[in-house]
Structure 1
Amino acid sequence: ISFVRNQAGTPIESLPKKVKRLKMSNCSIVELPEWFAGTMEELVFLDLGSNRISVLPDLPTSLQHLDISNSDIKIIPPSFKSVSNLTILSIQNNKITDMHPEHFPLTLTKCDISKNKLNKLSLTDALEKLQYLNVSGNLITRLEPAGHLSTLTNLDSSHNLISEVPDHFGKSLPMLKYFNLSGNKISFLQRGALPASLIELDISDNAITTIVEDTFGRLTSLSVLTVQGKHFFCNCDLYWFVNVYIH
């Protein structure tokens, strides 16, 4: 069922109980009715994007895909973990200041929480099935791995305020293949900061001036490296890079 761009603002009084996919984006919705979570027991896809929701509502445990982007949500409450079948979450362009991994469903595999107001990123074992994470366009100053995320393959942390990556960061994400760090404030990457599993890495528009062998020489699977930006310059220190990667 689709109610996309319904601007009437009429309260939701009833819905067919067996609906599996429901689109209610851009409908001036402020909140969901109390009966929604307990009644829509077969719902697997819900699009609530571009509404005026400020509090994350109670949701059916059957839900697998949730889009609640472009709203006014500030926190993700502990009760959100009860949406125990959720695999895809799109919650970009809200006003979230803290990301508590323990509040997320264990089943989550893809999460887009870009364009919020996060100031730190804590990666813990609570995100045990997460494969894709987008935290771009936030206010993050530091990446804080507090566990071993063996399933995460794609991390976009571009356009934040990150000034350094911990030297043990690479070990905490042993399967990471695509890492976007562009548009931050990083001047140097320590040995061990990058996972050896990387295939694509973007460090454009940082304060990095050169590619150090001690850090990058371990990245034997790397096939795409993007280093655009005014700070980067080419000199004889890059001879090792040409010798290893270019020919």
Structure 2
Amino acid sequence: MEDQGVKYYQYKYPKYPIIEMSVDMFSKMDYLKVSGSKINILPCNLISSFPSLETLDLSNNVLTETGFWPSICSYTSVFPNLRHLSLSKNRFADLFFISQQTHQMKYLESLDLSFNSIVLDKPCFWPIHITSLSLSNNNLGNKVFSFLSQYLQRIDLSKTGITALTQDLLKFPMLTHLFLSSNSIKVIPTDLSPTLVSLYIDQNSITSISRESLAGLPSLRTLKAGDNPFVCSCDSYWFITTLNKSLLPDWPLDYTCSTPPSVADLPMSEYRTSRMSCEAWLQAAVALPVTMLIVLALCSAFYACDGVWYTKMLWVWIRVKRRGQKQANLLNNTTFRYHSFISYSHQDSAWVESKLVPSLEGAGLSLCIHERDFVPGQWILDNIINCVEASYKTLFVLSNHFVQSEWCNYELFFAQHRALDAQQDSLVFILLEPIPTNSLPKKFLKLRRLLMQQTYLEWPMDERKQQVFWVNLRSMLQVADHRILKDMALDSS
């Protein structure tokens, strides 16, 4: 460059080069690059000269803060028209000092401090005219955002040791370009910056990019996110199938599946999964009617197979089993002559004699029946009281004939009082035919209340159901002490 007034002599390291300049002839120079020359200090006349210089590239030297702004120099202005300054690959460290000194450069717009040894010490106060700053390849960490100017429009923080994006990013209302390549960021926040036009976040630790994250970037036109350990699953389904790939300058070459192992190293553009398995609303839309059909079919089958009746009988059997031990403990010191006293209307005697008595006595139960076991010549009320008290249970065969019988009412009255005084679970009801509780006469108000409070057995017409009926009824009458009842039954016979 001798014809332009610059003499440059390169010596072998460790000697520094010597640069001779005739600055008078550079009044109209707007671009100057002195790179890889091991410069460690700027000449004083270089700082205040070059009135037209707009771009200065001093990268790949050995400059420090005191070398770029020598204290021995006295000058009235510092690069008066400079707009772009590159100090990359030097030895700058004090970001606070640099931010203070840049106030002297009235038109400086972009500053490159990449590949230095920058440390974050004191709060920085940047001039508002600097809109672009590069701090890439400096070990800065997550706190770097609090040391930057809110007027920045372009920030390069590639390879700076950032692991997470904090709320500090919200203080950059004019930010349009953000470079965060080669860090350890795992998640793109949903409120990153609505003004972003370009985002470089490749070579990080991102496993998926959510729809919500990009919804918070309405102005985004370029997204470089390749070389991340993407998980190829439903989390990435929308990214692969729906996202406009014109946003991705590195698609599809730099996008591969990292996990699961079955698709490791598979290009994301070749990954296939069904929409049904990933769209929750679609799964719900299909599952709901299918579930309703299954439930409807099960309910229909349950009803057609008399499931309600069998469930009711099962509940009776469970209650009997649960109360059996409790009642056995309560009646350890009590003996009974009969398993059950049968209370029924004379008009239902045919069913009692042909169905009920043979079935129960055939199972070894002793029954007290007024037509057979009442003491002749004794007052009928005394017979009723004695039979109720001598029986472990009182079994009522309920029918429309029963509620019309005066003597049945007496038997119910005494049996109920005995249940209140001695044995609370001594009443058993068989509903021989349907009797609406609200149709019972007033004198049977007690029966109405009992039917609403206690479980009763319904006599079924179906022979299959009758077998279940007899099993439940025998269980209800056999929860007493069988040995005592057997001895008493033998004495009676």
Q: Which residue of 2 aligns with 1:198?
A: 196
Q: 1:115 to 1:146 in 2, by over 3 A?
A: closer
Q: Which residue of 2 aligns with 1:145?
A: 146
Q: Which residue of 2 aligns with 1:108?
A: 108
**Which of 85, 92, 113 is 1:89 aligned to?**
85
Structural mapping, 1:51-200, within 5 Å: 51-58=37-44, 59-60=47-48, 62=51, 63-75=53-65, 77=69, 82-83=77-78, 84-100=80-96, 101-104=99-102, 105-120=105-120, 126-142=126-142, 143-146=144-147, 149-150=150-151, 152-169=152-169, 171-192=170-191, 194-200=192-198
User: How many correspondences in the alignment?
Assistant: 222
For the Cα contact (< 8 Å) 1:121–1:144, is it kept in 2? no
Give, in whole Å, the separation in 2 of the partners of 1:216 and 1:139: 28
* Other structure's SS at 1:161 match: coil
Give, in whole Å, the separation in 2 of the partners of 1:141 and 1:168: 13
Q: 1:212 to 1:127 in 2, by over 3 A?
A: farther
The amino acid of 1:165's aligned partner reads: L
Q: 1:234 to 1:2 in 2, by over 3 A?
A: farther
Q: CA deviation at 1:217?
A: 2.0
Q: CA deviation at 1:125?
A: 5.5
Give, in whole Å, the separation in 1 of the partners of 2:83 and 2:133: 12
TM, length-normalised to structure 2? 0.39
1:3 correspondence with 2:6: yes
Q: CA deviation at 1:243?
A: 8.2
For the Cα contact (< 8 Å) 2:139–2:161, is it kept in 1? yes
Give, in whole Å, the separation in 2 of the partners of 1:197 and 1:207: 24
| Cα RMSD for the two superposed structures | 3.5
Q: CA deviation at 1:219?
A: 0.3
The worse-fitting range, judged by mean Cα deviation, of 76-85 and 108-117 is 76-85
Q: 1:233 to 1:223 in 2, by over 3 A?
A: farther
Q: Which ranges of structure 2 fall in alignment gaps of 5 or more residues? A: 12-16, 246-493
* Other structure's SS at 1:50 match: coil
Give, in whole Å, the separation in 2 of the partners of 1:81 and 1:121: 29
Q: 1:102 to 1:234 in 2, by over 3 A?
A: farther
Give, in whole Å, the separation in 1 of the partners of 2:162 and 2:40: 28
Give, in whole Å, the separation in 2 of the partners of 1:81 and 1:167: 41
For the Cα contact (< 8 Å) 1:176–1:198, is it kept in 2? yes
Q: CA deviation at 1:148?
A: 5.2
Give, in whole Å, the separation in 1 of the partners of 2:241 and 2:18: 66
For the Cα contact (< 8 Å) 2:5–2:22, is it kept in 1? no
Structure with greater contact order relative to length (CA < 8 Å, sep ≥ 6):
1
Give, in whole Å, the separation in 1 of the partners of 2:145 and 2:234: 34
For the Cα contact (< 8 Å) 1:70–1:94, is it kept in 2? yes
The amino acid of 1:3's aligned partner reads: V
Q: Which residue of 1 aligns with 2:227?
A: 229
Give, in whole Å, the separation in 1 of the partners of 2:122 and 2:165: 13
For the Cα contact (< 8 Å) 1:81–1:106, is it kept in 2? no
Cα deviation per residue 1:130-181 (whole Å; 9 max; x = unaligned)? 233222222222322356533x333222122122222131x32222222221
Q: CA deviation at 1:107?
A: 2.0
Counting helix residues as a fraction of each chain, which structure ranks higher?
Answer: 2
Give, in whole Å, the separation in 1 of the partners of 2:149 and 2:38: 36
* Other structure's SS at 1:158 match: coil
Q: Which ranges of structure 1 fall in alignment gaps of 5 or more residues? A: 22-42
Give, in whole Å, the separation in 2 of the partners of 1:65 and 1:106: 14
The amino acid of 2:90's aligned partner reads: N
The amino acid of 2:146's aligned partner reads: P
Give, in whole Å, the separation in 2 of the partners of 1:81 and 1:91: 22
Cα deviation per residue 1:47-66 (whole Å; 9 max; x = unaligned)? 33222222455411635332
* Other structure's SS at 1:163 match: coil
For the Cα contact (< 8 Å) 1:114–1:134, is it kept in 2? yes
Q: Which residue of 1 aligns with 2:371?
A: none
For the Cα contact (< 8 Å) 1:125–1:149, is it kept in 2? no
Give, in whole Å, the separation in 2 of the partners of 1:54 and 1:94: 9
Cα deviation per residue 1:15-54 (whole Å; 9 max; x = unaligned)? 2524226xxxxxxxxxxxxxxxxxxxxx654433222222
Give, in whole Å, the separation in 2 of the partners of 1:211 and 1:123: 33
* Other structure's SS at 2:235 match: helix
Q: 1:139 to 1:209 in 2, by over 3 A?
A: same
For the Cα contact (< 8 Å) 2:48–2:76, is it kept in 1? no
